[in-house]
C-alpha cells in the first residue's frame, strides 16, 4: 500500500478562503463545462450532499457512472457558471487529463456496442439460486427430521445437522442477496428500476443507505478521511494512526480480524435502519416504501427461521462478505487528498481477483471484477469478464501506473492479511490522517463540510 498526494495549481490559503467567502454559487464541471447547480441542489434526488462533494471539482465520471441516460442529458439544461467564477475555478482545478479524455471515448464505444444491455434470463437464473437457498434454509430449519432423519439416524442428530445446514444456506442467501441488490441499485436500466428494492427484501439493506455509503466509496475511492470503506478503526487499521486515534486492538488486528469481519452485516443492518428512518424524516424519495420493504424482510426472516438460525447466519454472512469486499482495495494505493484524475485513481486503488473454481465465481457475486465494476458501476455484472482485455489495452495505451492488475483469490486475501500485520507492528505516527477526516476536508466523514453552506447557497 502506498499513499499519494495530488498536486494542484498553487493558490494561497488566504486566496482560497477569500474566494469561498465571495461565492454565491455551487459550481461543478461536467464534460469540460462549468455548471451552477445551486438552484438544483435541494432537488437532487440522491441528496444535497452529493453536489457539495463536487463543488469546484470535475464530476464527469461520477455523472456518467451513476446516472441514467435521461439524467445525464438533464445537466446540459442547467445554467452555466458565470465567466468570472469560471476563471477562479480554473485556477484551482487542473484540466482534464489525457487519461480521462481517453476513458470517456472508451465509455462511448462500449455504450454503442451494447455493453449495458441486460440479459433477463441470466438475472432470473441468479434470483432462482437465491430463492432455492432461502427455501432450502427454511425447510432445513423447520423440518429437519423429515429431511435428514433417514440420513443421520437419531432425531437429535437430524435437528443438529438441520440447524447447521440451515445457517450455512441462509448465510449464502444473505450474501448472494447483497451482491444481487448491489448490482440492481447501481443499475440504470428498466429491469433495475423494478428490482431496486430487492436488496431491502432479500438482505435487509435500504437502497438509500446503500447508495449514500457505497456510491461515495465509488466516487472517492481510498481517499483517507472520506471513504467509509477504509474507516474501520478502532478494530482494523489500514495505516498507522496518530497516538490519539490509536487502539490497543491494533497490535493484534491481524489475528482477530475475523471477529470484526463477522460483525459487518449486522452493523450494516443496524445502520441501514437508522439511515432509512432519517431519510423518511427528510422526505427523501422512496424512503417510506423502502421502510415497508425492510419491514416485510424482517417479518419473513423472523417467521421462517428460528433465532438460533438467522442470528448466526447474519454473522457468518458478514464474515463471507467482508472477506470478499476488503482485499480488492485495502492493500492498494490510498490518497491523502482528492484525486482530480478519477480514472487513474481507480486503476491504482483497485485490484480484481481471479477465482480458482466455479463456486467462488458465484460466491463473489461479481465483486472479483472489482476494477471493471468501479470504472463502470451501472454495467450488468455478466459483462465484466469480457472487459479485461479492453481495460488491459487501455491501461497500456495510456501508460497508467501498474496497468490492469488482478491476483488469485487466496493470494489477494493473504496480501490483505500482510497489510494488517504490517500496520499492527508499526508505531503510531503523530499527525497521521484520521479515518474520519478533517473538519476542513471536503466530503470528510466527520462533517458534511458543505461548501454550499459557507457560500450561502443552502440558506
CA 295/CA 298 separation, integer angstroms: 5
Rounded Cα distance between 203 and 341, Å, is 34
Instruction: Answer yes or no: is pLDDT of 174 > 90.
Output: yes
Confidence at residue 426, expressed as pLDDT on a 0 to 100 scale: 97
Residue with grid cell 488486528, as numbered in its chain? 253
- Give mean pLDDT, residues 243-268: 95
Task: Check if the beta carbon of residue 294 is closer than 8 Å to that of residue 286.
Answer: no
Q: Which is it for strands 334-335 and 33-36: parallel, antiparallel or unpaired? A: unpaired
* Measured distance CA(452)–CA(246) in Å, rounded: 33
* Residues 125, 146: Cα–Cα separation, whole Å: 28
State how far the Cα of 194 lies from the Cα of 206, in Å rounded to an integer.
Answer: 15
Q: How many of the other CB atoms lie within 10 Å of CB of 152?
A: 17
Average pLDDT (210-223) is 87
pLDDT tens track for 123-169: 999 999 999 999 999 999 999 888 887 787 788 888 889 999 999 99
Phi, psi of 50 (to 5 degrees): -65, -40
- 3 state DSSP class of 154: coil
Q: Give me the pLDDT at residue 117, please.
A: 94
Per-residue pLDDT, averaged over 39-65, amounts to 84
Output the nine-digit C-alpha cell for 265: 452485516
- Mean pLDDT lowest for which of 123-127, 235-239, 363-367, 453-457? 453-457
Closest to 99 measured CA to CA, from 395, 440, 438, 458? 395
Nearest to 196 by CA among 293, 118, 267: 293
Position 334 scores a pLDDT of: 95
Q: What is the mean pLDDT of the chain?
A: 88
Report the share of the chain in percent with pLDDT over 70: 92
Task: Give me the phi and psi of 70, to 5 degrees please.
Answer: -60, -50
pLDDT of residue 4: 58
Work out the average pLDDT over 304-333: 95
Tell me the C-alpha distance between 118 and 113, whole Å. Answer: 13
Amino acid at each position: 500500500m502506498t499513499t499519494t498526494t495530488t498536486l494542484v495549481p498553487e493558490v494561497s490559503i488566504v486566496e482560497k478562503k477569500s474566494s469561498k467567502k465571495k461565492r454565491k454559487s455551487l459550481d461543478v464541471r461536467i464534460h469540460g463545462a462549468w455548471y451552477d447547480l445551486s438552484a438544483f441542489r435541494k432537488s437532487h434526488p440522491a441528496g444535497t450532499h452529493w453536489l457539495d462533494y463536487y463543488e469546484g471539482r470535475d464530476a464527469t465520471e461520477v455523472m456518467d457512472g451513476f446516472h441514467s441516460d435521461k439524467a445525464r442529458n438533464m445537466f446540459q439544461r442547467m445554467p452555466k457558471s458565470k465567466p468570472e467564477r469560471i476563471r477562479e475555478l480554473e485556477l484551482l482545478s487542473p484540466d482534464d487529463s489525457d487519461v480521462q479524455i481517453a476513458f470517456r471515448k472508451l465509455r462511448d464505444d462500449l455504450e454503442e456496442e451494447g455493453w449495458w444491455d441486460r440479459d433477463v434470463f441470466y438475472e432470473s437464473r441468479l434470483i432462482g439460486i437465491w430463492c432455492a437457498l432461502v427455501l432450502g434454509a427454511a425447510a432445513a430449519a423447520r423440518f429437519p427430521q423429515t429431511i435428514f432423519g433417514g440420513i443421520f439416524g437419531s432425531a437429535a442428530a437430524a435437528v443438529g445437522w438441520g440447524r447447521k445446514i440451515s445457517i450455512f444456506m441462509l448465510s449464502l442467501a444473505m450474501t448472494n442477496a447483497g451482491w444481487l441488490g448491489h448490482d440492481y441499485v447501481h443499475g440504470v436500466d428498466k429491469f433495475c428500476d423494478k428490482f431496486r428494492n430487492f436488496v431491502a427484501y432479500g438482505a435487509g439493506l435500504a437502497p438509500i443507505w446503500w447508495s449514500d455509503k457505497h456510491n461515495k466509496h465509488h466516487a472517492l475511492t481510498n481517499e483517507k478521511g472520506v471513504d467509509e470503506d477504509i474507516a474501520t478503526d478502532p478494530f482494523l487499521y489500514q495505516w498507522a494512526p496518530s497516538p490519539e486515534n490509536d487502539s490497543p486492538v491494533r497490535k493484534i488486528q491481524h489475528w482477530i480480524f475475523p471477529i470484526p469481519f463477522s460483525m459487518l452485516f449486522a452493523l450494516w443492518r443496524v445502520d441501514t435502519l437508522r439511515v432509512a428512518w432519517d431519510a423518511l424524516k427528510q422526505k427523501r424519495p422512496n424512503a417510506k416504501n423502502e421502510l415497508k420493504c425492510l419491514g416485510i424482510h424482517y417479518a419473513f426472516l423472523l417467521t421462517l427461521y428460528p433465532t438460533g438460525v438467522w442470528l448466526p447466519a447474519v454473522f457468518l454472512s458478514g464474515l463471507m462478505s467482508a472477506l470478499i469486499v476488503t482485499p480488492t482495495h485495502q492493500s492498494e494505493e490510498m490518497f491523502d487528498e482528492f484525486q482530480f484524475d478519477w480514472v487513474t485513481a481507480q486503476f491504482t486503488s483497485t485490484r480484481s481477483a481471479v477465482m480458482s473454481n466455479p463456486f467462488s465465481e458465484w460466491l463473489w457475486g461479481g465483486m472479483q471484477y472489482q476494477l471493471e465494476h468501479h470504472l463502470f458501476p451501472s454495467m450488468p455484472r455478466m459483462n465484466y469478464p469480457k472487459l479485461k482485455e479492453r481495460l488491459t489495452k487501455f491501461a497500456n495505451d495510456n501508460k497508467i501506473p501498474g496497468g490492469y492488475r488482478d491476483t488469485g483469490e487466496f493470494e489477494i486475501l493473504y496480501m490483505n492479511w500482510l497489510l494488517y500485520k504490517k500496520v499492527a507492528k508499526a508505531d503510531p505516527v503523530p499527525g497521521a490522517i484520521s479515518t474520519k477526516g478533517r473538519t476542513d476536508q471536503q466530503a470528510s466523514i466527520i462533517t458534511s463540510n458543505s461548501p454550499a453552506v459557507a457560500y450561502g447557497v443552502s440558506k
